[in-house]
Structure 1
Amino acid sequence: MKKTEKKAEKTGIFIRFLNAIEKIGNKLPDPFMIFVYLAVAVMVSSFIFSLFDASVVHPGTGETLAIQNLLSWAGLEYIITSMLTNFTGFAPLGTVLAVMLGIGLAEKVGLLEIAIRKTILKAPAALVTYAIAFVGIMGNIASDAAQILIPPLAAMVFYKIGRHPLAGLAVGFASAGAGFTANLLIVGTDALLSGISTEAAAILDDQLIVTPADNWYFNMVSVFVLTIVAGLITEKVIEPKLGKYVGDTVIDVSAEEHPKANKGLRNAGLAALAYLAVIALLIFLPGSSLRNEDGGLIPSPFLTGIVPVILGLFVVLGVAYGKTVGVIKNSKDAVGFMADSIKDMSGFIVLIFAASQFIAYFTWSNIGTWIAVNGAELLTQINFTGIYLIIGYILFTSMLNFLISSGSAKWALEAPVFIPLFMQLGYHPAFTQMAYRIGDSSTNIVTPLNPYFIVVLSFMREYDKKAGMGTLISLMIPYTLSFLVVWIIMFLIFFYAGFQYGPGITPFL
């Protein structure tokens, strides 16, 4: 058999595997009902745990946490009194709706379409996939907002250049979600995790400080490596699996552009520059409250409030373009376009209601904490030594994503256990932190507990009404597996070659 035939056979087997996952996954009930069933499962599990008086000692606070029974009177009171706040207080809900107000306005007035025509459609086709992957990975400078912004825009780009829109959505979500920890810059995530690491290291050495730059070198290399990996997976696996797009969504890519489109783009660009200049002025004015106490930006109120800044930018862009081409004549027109964009998010809002209840119940019952801590203790008893224990830890963290999706919350739980453990084996806390980030990021895109998983599923259904959780998971698995494997290989190369993970940071203390 020829090599090309063998390769085609292997590819065919893998595609059939993904198709099987999609088929099985899509036989599951509607995502809304899945989260309802999961909430019920948590209730029953909390009752069973409580029969055995199960509890866990939180490694960070030392507090003993009992498994709280949701089927008790106290649990019933919590369920009833928290239902509305679970929904309205669900952080991604406000983030998504706020960002979509701006993006929706820019889309409804035609700005996004003409911008794509003038840029992406004229770019070399071979670079489009990799450009989206790069932007997606770098998008974590805007924190979680990238997982909302990039997938729908990437889907639109792919559609307009004659490629399957779900392939664009897939690479957009995979790069922004699974590549979340990588960046060429030092961003808010670095500061957040390093602060937790420093506190955990203080258990053994209160003089040891983990800085936001301690994983910088590894993260910079990861950007370029993962961009290539994401591009190859999209073109060699995802697009062949999807085939030609024959969905219901129709966008006339040959339509003539508005006669004032060029002027509209120019005015939108000028308005954006003016807006960004005002933001920069507010940031760098002496005594600005948008910077931190040391005068820096990482972390800072500015980065914490990046979503409103993004919303404002898209509103400025949309209004400037809309008024120039004449589709916005007064404030009512602008408000109408934003209202239409929220109507498109109605399915997402319904899903969030059920998902927010499940996640709240899971947190309140302390079941997630119990599983995480006991799983960590089990991992320490596995007869691994040296780097193999670290690889086992990466895999453990990647699986824990299916129980606790919040990266910072999970690290706050894991760091007090694993940093002191690995310090006793001679490993630097920043090295352990990097191992954590690999495991945490890789499976972000396949865990339904990730609130943005639901968002992307809603975007997917705009192009394929029959798409379900199985569809999205089957598209994300190749990225998750490839990112995890490639990252572990990189991790080992740095380890055995003695490369620094950040300035002055090697694996050992």
Structure 2
Amino acid sequence: MSVHATAAKAGWLARALNAIEVVGNKLPDPAVLFAMLMAVVWLVSWALSGVSFNEIDPRSGQAIEIKNLLAPVALTDFIAKLVNTFVTFPPLGVVLVAMLGLGVAEYTGFINAGLRSILAVTPKFLLTPVLVAVGVLSHVAVDAGYVLVIPLGAVIFYAAGRHPLAGIAAAFAGVSGGFSATFFVPSSLDPLLAGLTQVAARLSSDPAAANIVINPLNNFFFTTASTFLVVLIGWVLTDKFIEPRLKATAVDGDPADLPKMDALQASERKGLRWATVAMLASLALLVLSVLPETSAWRSPTNGQLTHSSAPLMQSIVAIIFIFFLIPGVVYGYVAGTVSNHRDIVKGMSQAMSGMGYYIVMAFFCAQFIYAFGQSNLGALMAIKGAIWLKEMSFPMGFTLVGIVLLTSSVNLLVGSASAKWALIGAVMVPMLMELGVSPDLTQAAYRVGDSSTNIITPLLPYFPLIVVFCRKYVKSTGIGTLIALMLPYSIAMLVLWTSFLLGFWAFDIPLGIGSTYTYPAAG
């Protein structure tokens, strides 16, 4: 392809994304949009509540029914649970608690000084791949990457003289777009999905499937190799397309709130040294308390540290809070940026004041997600899609693509990876086993589709938070801005990651430990 043809193609794509951004930003405010979508769900649930469906809900074993959310009992139940739905909204506590510690570290200047010292020795051309890789690695800490890596991506890019939204995009691509990639270290998602896959596989009509065992690391080789693909996609797109497109987008945030890139002063260097010592000492104490086989941090059921029942995994957000609070306080006192405890509380208060808009959006987002889940509309769509895929009886390669596309489509409506797989997997895994597709391969295809569209769905619980992060730098940021920013990553991952999986299958490269491609296993 000629240089002129490439430029013309890039220009066409840029215009298309600009159109998406304009249209998307003309949508109502995200909080109002969630309220409107909830009203639509109510109306659709009322319209379909009297319709009989033959599809079986794997969760109950009964024919699936759409629940009428406008029925008096459903409405009163919704209102009675409204407060609880909001306060138990999973991302809410994660975000607010983590931001308390980060707020102190930012207020005292610890984060800014630390990033300036790192940038002084880091080549600029490596910032993007390192940021994307850190985003992928953050999955070990469950959802910590959303509240830690993504905002720091903006700070790092801005401090390096690059566009902060490009930093957010690169970090978001690693944290959420690469959610199913693993950087040599298993994530908490691996045993969770494998457990659901095993339950689904045992639903098969084949008597031999009753005792099937799925290894938690059945996709480990594939997801580890996928890390390099995700990093490469994030690196190339960010540097060659996303950031050049953002040149016309002015950074108009409050200058007082934006990071500075001045040389470190003597007091800052001293504060940074002691803060680093404090952070390393905290880390050492944590490691020493984790290592013993009788450690209270381990799972009470199997003694593992990475199991979802392990107190360590359940304390990730609290640990982030402490790991930024302690060095933030130490830095403030040593560097002289704070003088007493009231300044520390002020830093926390400022962090919370900046989260006001997110809290409003989270309220309406939580209500919509609850209503959509109660209606069973998402379940109906997923089950119908899986059955259609079986009835088509495509060749293996086309079936894999179909799994990815079905998952990526359902992912636009159902955010939780585990809830989605519990629903889709219970239908898809046993169905595809009848077609000779192993549960391991079905799960791998699901993970590709699930990750690829995470970054473009406003129904992702953390999506409103990313909009808030963007608005710190570009005040006009809306849903359309973020979708247009992330759509190239989503399309590239969907195409290239699916091709990557097909390559694994075509060359019979093991997906993971104890995995197979066919059912029953060949040989």
Does the pair score TM above 0.5? yes
After superposition, the CA RMSD in angstroms is: 1.6
- Going from structure 1 to structure 2, the CA distance change for 1:119 and 1:378 (only over 3 Å counts) comes to same
The residue that corresponds to 1:212 in the other structure is 216
Instruction: Give the CA deviation at 1:269.
Output: 1.3
1:5 CA displacement: 1.0
- Is this contact kept in 2: 1:186–1:213, CA < 8 A? yes
Corresponding position: 1:272 with 2:279? yes
Shift, 1:312, TM fit? 1.1
Which has the larger displacement, 197-206 or 454-463? 197-206
Residue of structure 1 in register with 2:290 after alignment: 283
Counterpart Cα distance in 2 of 1:377 and 1:55: 11
Q: Secondary structure at the match of 1:180?
A: coil
* Counterpart code for 1:485: V
Q: State the Cα deviation string for residues 260-290 of structure 1 (Å, max 9, x = none).
A: 1112111111111221122223222342232
**What residue is the counterpart of 1:235 in the other structure?**
239
User: Given the alignment of the two structures, is residue 226 of structure 1 paired with residue 197 of structure 2, yes or no?
Assistant: no
The alignment status of 1:448 with 2:464, answered yes or no, reads: no
SS at match of 1:403: coil
Question: Which residue identity lines up with residue 210 of structure 1 in the other structure?
Answer: I
Equivalence for 1:296: 304
Local SS of the residue matching 2:211: coil
Give the superposition deviation at 1:225. 1.6
The answer to whether structure 1 residue 492 and structure 2 residue 492 are counterparts is no
Deviates most, 498-507 or 183-192: 498-507
Contact persistence 1:67–1:367 (CA under 8 A)? yes
The residue number in structure 1 matching 2:396 is: 386
Where do 1:247-266 residues align within 5 Å?
Answer: 247-249=251-253, 250=255, 251=258, 253-266=260-273
Which 10-residue stretch deviates more, 393-402 or 414-423?
414-423
Amino acid at match of 1:231: W
| Aligned residue type for 1:285 | P
The residue identity in structure 2 corresponding to 1:442 is: S
The farther-off stretch of 243-252 and 134-143 is 243-252
Q: Unpaired segments of 5 or more residues in structure 1?
A: none
Aligned to 1:197: 197
Equivalent residue of 1:92, what SS? helix
Tell me, in whole angstroms, the C-alpha distance in 1 between the residues paired with 2:117 and 2:293: 39
The alignment of Structure 1 onto Structure 2 pairs a total of residues equal to 508
Which residue number corresponds to residue 177 of structure 2? 178
Q: Is the 8 A contact 1:191 1:212 kept in 2?
A: yes
Equivalent residue for 2:42?
A: 43
Question: Are the equivalent residues in 1 in contact too, given 2:157–2:167 (CA < 8 A)?
Answer: yes
The aligned residue for residue 18 of structure 1 is: 17
Per-residue CA distance 1:175-209 (angstroms, 9 max, x = gap): 10010111121121001001111111122312221
Contact conserved, 2:109 with 2:337, CA < 8 A, in 1? no
Per-residue Cα deviation, 1:22-61 (whole angstroms, up to 9, x for no partner): 0111111111111110011011111101233568532144
1:129-164 superposed Cα distances (whole Å, 9 cap, x missing partner): 111011111111111121221111011111111111
Who is 1:120 aligned against? 119
2:357 to 347, 355, 361: 347
Q: In the alignment, is the contact (CA less than 8 A) between 2:215 and 2:513 conserved in 1? A: no
Q: Which amino acid aligns with 2:191?
A: A
Give me the whole-angstrom Cα distance separating, in 2, the residues matched to 1:65 and 1:307: 37
Which digits, 9 at most, give the CA deviation of each residue in 1:234-262, with x for residues without a partner? Answer: 01110121115522223463545343111
What code does the residue aligned with 1:411 have?
W
Aligned position for 1:79: 78
Q: What is the letter of the counterpart of residue 163 of structure 2?
A: H
Q: Distance in 2 between matches of 1:64 and 1:284?
A: 49
Q: Are the structure 2 counterparts of residues 298 and 206 from structure 1 closer, same or farther at C-alpha, using a change threshold of 3 Å?
A: farther
* 1:82 maps to amino acid: K
Q: Which residue of 2 aligns with 1:401?
A: 411
Contact 2:24 2:480 in 1 (8 A): yes
* Conserved 8 A contact 1:55-1:370: no
Cα gap change, 1:63/1:298 in structure 2, threshold over 3 Å: closer, same or farther? farther
Aligned residues: percent identity? 38
Q: Which residue of 2 aligns with 1:362?
A: 372
Q: Conserved in 2, the CA contact under 8 Å of 1:105 and 1:315?
A: yes
Q: Which residue of 2 aligns with 1:105?
A: 104
- SS of the equivalent of 1:381 reads helix
Amino acid at match of 1:223: T
Shift of the alpha carbon at 1:504? 4.2
Distance (Å, rounded) in 2 between the aligned partners of 1:112 and 1:409: 36
Deviation at 1:506, TM superposition (A): 3.3
Instruction: Please report how far the alpha carbon of residue 76 of structure 1 lies from its aligned counterpart in structure 2 after TM superposition.
Output: 1.8
**Residue 464 of structure 1, CA deviation:** 1.1
- 1:260, 1:325 within 8 Å by CA — same for their partners in 2? yes
Following superposition, the deviation at residue 305 of structure 1 comes to 2.1
Does the Cα contact within 8 Å between 1:187 and 1:298 map onto a contact in 2? yes
Report if the CA contact (8 A) 1:178-1:443 is conserved: yes
8 Å CA contact 1:97, 1:342 repeated in 2: yes
> Post-superposition shift, 1:394?
0.8
Kindly state the Cα deviation for residue 368 of structure 1 after the two structures are TM-superposed. 1.6
Aligned-partner residue type, residue 306 of structure 1: I
Confirm or deny: 8 A CA contact 1:201 1:429 kept in the other structure: yes
User: Normalised by the size of structure 1, how large is the TM-score?
Assistant: 0.96
Distance 1:245 1:319 in 2: 36
TM-score, structure 2 normalization: 0.94
Cα contact 1:56–1:369 (8 A) shared by 2: no
Whole-Å separation in 2 of the counterparts to 1:244 and 1:34: 27
**Amino acid of the residue matched to residue 272 of structure 1?**
M
Q: 1:90 and 1:56, CA in 2 relative to 1: closer, same or farther beyond 3 A?
A: farther
Letter in 1 for 2:338: I
Alignment-mate amino acid for residue 173 of structure 1 = F
Output the CA distance in 2 between the equivalents of 1:77 and 1:130. 50
Map of 2:484 onto structure 1: 474
Instruction: Indicate if the aligned counterparts of 2:43 and 2:70 stay in contact, CA closer than 8 A.
Output: yes
Corresponding residue of 1:428: 438
